[in-house]
Amino acid sequence: MNQKAVVSVVGKDVVGILAQVTSACAQNNINIIEVSQTVLDDYFCMFMMLDITGAKCSIQELNHSLNREGEKLGLSIHVMHEDIFKSMHRI
Amino acid sequence: MLNTHDILETIRMIEEENLDIRTITMGISLLDCADSNIRKACSKVYDKIAHKAEHLVKTGEEIENRYGIPIVNKRISVTPVSMLCGISGGDPVEYAKALDASAHTVGVNFIGGFSALVQKGCAAGDRELMEAIPQALAETERVCSSVNVGSTRAGINLNAVEVMGRVVRKTAELTADRDCIGAAKLVVFCNAVEDNPFMAGAFHGVGEADCIINVGVSGPGVVRSALKKAGDCDIREVAEIIKKTAFKVTRMGQLVGTVAAEMLGVPFGIVDLSLAPTPAVGDSVAHILEEIGLEQCGAHGTTAALAILNDAVKKGGVMASSMVGGLSGAFIPVTEDAGMIDAARSGALCIEKLEAMTAVCSVGLDMIVVPGDTTAEVISAIIADEAAIGMINSKTTAVRLIPAIGKKEGEELQFGGLLGGGPVMRLNTKSPARFIHRGGHIPAPIQSLKN
């Protein structure tokens, strides 16, 4: 079964956000299925749907490494399993 | 793709509002461990728990990693030990030690089930177990104990109530050097439920399967924050917001429970959709009540606000899970709730108000520190009052009092961790001794003519 995760990036728009996240994904054999971005209240919000079925690292590890990258750029980055959103917001 | 708002809301709940899974509790039946030789029985108990729960903690951590949701506690509940005592005889403390050893081996922080069900009367092993509770809780670290003294169908066993008053006091005395922590692990119930995953009152009922996984969710901070955002809406809207929030929180519990049961290869029992506070800032049930519009918890209006909260939590949660059980509602443990502690310190919250609140909350008088010179009879009488509220209203009630040995009003006890700490609360000290020492049985109430 395909396992999916959602990456959320929220913060001020800076150069290289996409590059940082996508290269981390590529390094860990994670395929990016979908990307959407929008500006909410002056904040840059980007969401990515990832296929983590063949990932070389756990969600937690990816989350930690992206958190660290995000902090350097002043962004809040989170990675969470898709099941959480599905179970919480869909009946 | 998922909705942006939904994603941000979920992240905020976990990151900022302390949404977590409070406990995954594995219920294990010990009926097949019974033996007429107590030593053999204890060794079977240890082996069964160590075998069944071998992967419990690891599985919990794996789920935490996979989903990024904190699972605060991994725990075990077992069949009421008095049943094993009835068959083996001997010193029940030996069972407590076997339970404690198995809890250490598998790495859970509490194991519940050093329990007896005596609502109608004491069978073999029950009396011995009750009398052994003080020593058992003083000599073990992780064992929790509970005794059910009444029910709506059976009435209240006043003899057991009398015994438990003494037992609570003695438990505190034997652990006086550790802030009387023994008493914090002892609950006296009326209408105890058999599938409660929350400590200290968890035990694995005899009507349950051999091994199951129950999940207790939490999330007072999430509810409070949702209400804060809504501002001055009318009270029906308040109930709606609580319902919707409880739904989301419970869905998370359902997800975690289903996955945990699958990974461990045991059936999924229930989700207990309780709002369980912790002493952490932003994780308080009292603060929800204050957000509804009270200056401080304990003010007149608290009972009504709590009734709305308790009912709305159930309504939202029931829709979210295929199996709801346990205590399900809002807990009001004083020392475990930052807002309650403040209210008790300031004098806004007194024990009489708490007693009224227990008529509409999910359990009862919970984690209340009382003066060290409180007599056993007064404690018994508090238990009797609380059991009467439960019996008449067909709800679970409980008493978990901590007599602060050597301390009086104005002083405080500190347990640390989830158990928190709080001030000694004033009690009415007029003697109920003659009533308590009458003994016997309070008849079960009539179930019609409900006024």
Q: What is the per-residue pLDDT across B200-247, written as a single tens digit (0 to 9) for each?
A: 999 999 999 999 999 998 889 899 999 999 999 999 999 999 999 999
Q: Is the pLDDT of residue A40 over 80?
A: no
Q: What is the CATH number of the domain that holds A23?
A: 3.30.70.260
Burial of B303: CB neighbours in 10 Å, binned 0-12, 13-18, 19+: middle
What is the reported pLDDT for B1?
57
Cα dihedral B394/B284/B309/B383 (nearest 10): 20
Query: Which of chain A's residues have a Cβ under 8 Å away from the Cβ of B4?
Result: 36, 38, 40, 45, 47
Write out the H or E segment, with its range, that includes residue B358: none
Let me know: does B338 contact B280? Beta carbons within 8 Å: yes
Nearest CA among B217, B247, B279, B277 for reference residue B21: B217
Let me know: does B116 contact B159? Beta carbons within 8 Å: no
What is the reported pLDDT for B326?
85
Which structural domain range is residue A62 located in? 4-89
Tell me the H-state helices in chain A: 17-27, 59-73, 82-89
The set of residues, in sequence order, having a beta carbon less than 8 Å from that of B258 and lying 6+ positions away, is: B268
Let me know: does B105 contact B65? Beta carbons within 8 Å: no
DSSP track, B416-432: -GGG-EEEPPP---S--
The set of residues, in sequence order, having a beta carbon less than 8 Å from that of B300 and lying 6+ positions away, is: none
Q: How far apart are CA B297 and CA B305, in angstroms?
A: 10
- B70 contacts chain A (CB < 8 A): no
Q: How far apart are CA B75 and CA B429, in angstroms?
A: 37
Q: What is the per-residue pLDDT across B166-208, written as a single tens digit (0 to 9) for each?
A: 999 999 999 999 999 999 999 999 999 999 999 999 999 999 9
Q: What is the per-residue pLDDT across B131-153, written as a single tens digit (0 to 9) for each?
A: 999 999 999 999 999 999 999 99
What is the reported pLDDT for B430?
95
Amino acid at B17: E
The proportion of chain B whose per-residue pLDDT surpasses 70, expressed as a percent, equals 100
Q: Is the pLDDT of residue B84 over 70?
A: yes
What is the reported pLDDT for B388?
97
Taking the CA atoms of B115, B119, B123 and B127 in sequence, report the sign of the dihedral they define.
Answer: positive
What is the reported pLDDT for A15?
80
At B100, list the tokens: 């404690």
Q: What is the ipTM of this complex?
A: 0.82
Let me know: does B285 contact B305? Beta carbons within 8 Å: no
Q: Do B3 and A34 touch (CB under 8 A)?
A: no
What is the reported pLDDT for A63?
87
Q: Is the pLDDT of residue A41 over 80?
A: no
Q: How far apart are CA B222 and CA B283, in angstroms?
A: 8
Q: What is the per-residue pLDDT across B399-410, written as a single tens digit (0 to 9) for each?
A: 999 999 999 998
Radius of gyration of chain A (CA): 13
Q: Is the pLDDT of residue B155 over 90?
A: yes
Mean pLDDT in residue range B13-36: 90
Q: Do A36 and B4 touch (CB under 8 A)?
A: yes
Residue B259 pLDDT grade (very low, low, confident, very high; cuts 50, 70, 90): very high
Taking the alpha carbons at both ends of chain A, their separation in whole angstroms is 21
**Residue B304 preceded by cis peptide, ω within 30:** no
Which of A46, A58, A89 should one mutate to test binding to chain B, selecting the residue with the greatest count of B CBs within 10 A? A89
Q: Do A58 and B4 touch (CB under 8 A)?
A: no
Amino acid at A69: E
Q: How far apart are CA B189 and CA B267, in angstroms?
A: 27
Residue A38 pLDDT grade (very low, low, confident, very high; cuts 50, 70, 90): confident
Q: Do A38 and B68 touch (CB under 8 A)?
A: no
Domain count, chain A: 1
Burial of B366: CB neighbours in 10 Å, binned 0-12, 13-18, 19+: buried
- When CB atoms are compared, the residue of B4, B15, B252 closest to A84 is B252
- B4 contacts chain A (CB < 8 A): yes
What is the reported pLDDT for A62?
86
Q: What length does chain A have?
A: 91
